[in-house]
Structure formats: C-alpha cells, structure tokens
Amino acid sequence: MKKIIEFIVLSMGTVFSGAAQQTPAPSQSEPVVIEGATAHLGNGEIIENSLIMFEDGKLTFVGPATTKIARNGTQIKGKGKHVYPGFIAPSTSLGLIEIDAVRATDDQEELGEMIPHVRSLIAYNAESKVVESMRPNGVLLGQITPMGGRISGTSSIVQFDAWNWEDAAVKVDDGIHLRWPNTFRQGKWWEGEERGYQPNEKYEEQVTEVEVFLRNANAYGDGNGEDMNPAFAAMQGSFDGSKKVYVYADGEKEIIDAITLSKKAGVKNVVLVGGYHAYKITDFLKENKVPVLAQLTHNLPVFEDEDYDLPYKLPKLLVDAGLLVGLQNGEASNFQTRNLAFYAGQLVGQGMDKEKALQLITGNTAKILGIDENYGTLAEGKSATLFISEGDALDMRSNQLTHAFIDGREISLETHQTALWRKYSGKYRGNQR
C-alpha cells in the first residue's frame, strides 16, 4: 500500500510539473555583463560593439565595449549576437483566456455595456501556458486588456515571469478601453437581411449613450459613500489624466467622432487602437496629439477597392505622417501575439528603417502606455528587461533567443512548446520509428 501511495504522489507531481509554468526566476544576485553584441537600444540607435551592464535589476552601463570600466559578476560573450529591450504587447487579453472553447478558462469578458470598473489585473493568470510561450520570441511585457461591452473595463501592464498577478504588475489600472460604435455593420443573413456591410441605423443612438455616460461620469466627480457609483468612480482617472482612454475605431467618421466627443466630455489622454483608416486623417490626429496602436500587419485588406498591401504598410504610413505609433495584435488570437516582432519586420519590407520598426514594439509602445521611464529602451537607470538573440529578432529565421532577463532576473525560455519540439524532433530526424 505504501508503494502504491508513493507511486500516486510521484505521478501527480509529474502531471502538475508538466502542466504548470516554469518557476519564476529569483531576484538578480550578482552583476551581469554582456559584451561584444550589437545593441539595438529601442530609440532608433545602435551600438555595434556594445557593453551592457546591470545590477539589482537596473542597467548600470550602456555603451561601447571599448570603454574602460571594471567588468564584475557574470560575463556573457555577445560577439555576433544582438541585444534588444524586451518587446511590449499592448491591448491583449493574454492571461485572461487560455482555451477559446473552454468557458472555464475565459475571463476576458464580463456582462454589461458600460463597465469601466471591471479590472483585468485581478483575473490575470500568471501561470498561463500561452503567456509563457511569448518569452522565447522576446515578448516580455504586455497590457492585459478586458474585452466585450462598449466600455470594456480597465487594463494593467504586467511582466511575463511571475508567481501571481501581484508580482506581475508593472503599472496598475493604466487605462479604460472604449469600443466605439461602427457606422456600418454586417448584415444578419440568418434573420433575412442581405449579406455584407449595411448602414448601422443605431449609430447616432449608440454614440449618444457613450457621450451621456462620459459626461455623467465627469459630473459625478469623486463620489463616495453609500451612493458611490463604481462605474463613474472608475472613470475619474481619465478626466484628471492619470488614466488613458484607449478608443477602438477604424473608419474616418468613427475616429473623428470618438476623439472629438471624448475630449469634449473631459477625457485628457486618448489613444487610438486599430485605426484602419487613420492614414486618411493624420492631420486631425496630429492636431489632437493622439498616438496610434496600429493593428497587426499580417492581414488582408477589408474592402475590395483598397491596396492589396494596405495592412502591410499602414503603420509606416502613420509613422511617415509624424504620428507616435505602436503595434498591437488586433483581433488575432492571443497565441499570435508571439509574432509581434515579425509584424514589425514586415514593415522593413515596406521600406521602413529597421530600427524605426523596432521602436513600434519597444520605445514607442512604452511611451504610449506610460511606462517609458523604466521600460522600452536600453539606457542607464532603466529596468534590465532585455534579451539576447542569435540574429535579427525581427526576422523569424534568426529570432533565436539565448538569454532573456526581466528586471535583471534571468528567466527560463522553456515552454510546453519547446518540450514538445524536443520530444518529436528526434522522430523526424530518424532517431525513432
């Protein structure tokens, strides 16, 4: 009986160890030196033969390797390799949903239309296997965002190596997410309507509902006590500037209406998310100082009369117009967020300078999310959140990480996918039948 019990315990341990995420890395215990690598700083600059040093989770030196300075602690030879700041994934529901078809793993939506008080952070699953799979491609931070409803809720920014959501949090309750109504909608063919796009006859009514909510929330002020309205209370940061409002809109009219009405209602900082037709109204966006989190480049045109390569070049059009632009995963599935680097790489094929393309997933995104004081670029005093790649990290052929660090902690690059790769690679190399 004792042997049976021992076998069961060991079996359970094996099952759970295989199912759980890698154990989060301990705090940095000694200085780390990376010498000889090409450093991509995330601000458009490169140091070909670089010296990067960090201690206690902070970068202490970023400069040329020819600098005469003491090298202490762990030394990593970077010759022939590349160093990058950790990539940042905005507007994603990573950690809120694991398997689309399993309802018990889906916490990305709540009931209701105007629910800014719903906080994504407390539902974030730090042991998500999907989150874990981001790290081998250099995606080390993300803005965890609720979905559904008109005002979906409040996002927070996390790092991807933590025991729980408290440990993961980098910036708590950074912004409210507003999904603006569309002027056109898909016809409900199952109800007898024609297929394809049709005018949304309720557009003005839906816009009025949003405008009234924003104005009432602003008038509500710092209400508290027994009559506290949690939805209005959650909106207060958007009126004093401590929270940004991320507006999801694609058409010209929707974008103009969303920004104009939001600002009239008292919203201080607006960020446009998606912005499929934003390239047509760049002067308006610049005038209102609105940055854009553009949708992924690996996509097809929405309308038949558009350039076949519009999704490929859209972020470049916005950058060329002088806007602050970042990249986000759009409506693609969560697991595709790991391709963030390759969305940026696509822009290089459209003529964008490679270091500018890199900024769209590092320095620019950090500025838009308000975490640029510590993340997004490699500079002295900032967080040592970075990784080393064998080659160009924007190219899927050479994005092969050897080391990755979050706040100076060397994190594991092992995932359930790398385990499966090792398991089956032998078979296809002829080592097994």
Find out if CATH 3.20.20.140 is the number for domain 87-375: yes
Q: What pLDDT band is residue 333 in, cutting at 50, 70 and 90?
A: confident
**In this structure, what token pair is assigned to residue 303?**
């309308």
What is the assigned CATH class of domain 21-85+377-412?
mainly beta
Q: What's residue 430's pLDDT? A: 65
Which of 171-185, 220-234, 373-387 is modeled with the greatest confidence? 373-387
**In this structure, what token pair is assigned to residue 281?**
């109204």
Q: What's residue 15's pLDDT? A: 38
Q: What's residue 121's pLDDT? A: 94
Q: How far apart are CA 168 and CA 161, in angstroms?
A: 7
Helices (H), 69-202: 129-132, 165-168
| Domain-wise residue ranges, the chain | 21-85+377-412, 87-375
Mean pLDDT of 341-367: 96
**In this structure, what token pair is assigned to residue 374?**
């510590």
- 263-292 per-position pLDDT tens digit: 999 999 999 999 999 999 999 999 999 999
Q: How far apart are CA 233 and CA 226, in angstroms?
A: 13
Question: Does the pLDDT value for residue 431 go beyond 60?
Answer: no
Q: What's residue 7's pLDDT? A: 42
Q: What's residue 17's pLDDT? A: 40
- 18-37 per-position pLDDT tens digit: 444 578 999 999 999 999 99
**In this structure, what token pair is assigned to residue 258?**
């969303």
The answer to whether 375 and 85 are in contact (CB under 8 A) is yes
Question: Does the pLDDT value for residue 12 go beyond 60?
Answer: no
- 121-160 per-position pLDDT tens digit: 999 999 999 999 999 999 999 999 998 889 999 999 999 9
85 contacts: CB under 8 Å, gap ≥ 6: 40, 41, 42, 362, 363, 375, 376, 377, 378, 385, 386
Determine the residue type at 86.
G
Q: What's residue 225's pLDDT? A: 60
Mean pLDDT of 319-340: 90
Question: Does the pLDDT value for residue 56 go beyond 60?
Answer: yes
- 165-184 per-position pLDDT tens digit: 999 999 999 999 999 999 88
87-375 matches 21-85+377-412 in CATH topology:
no
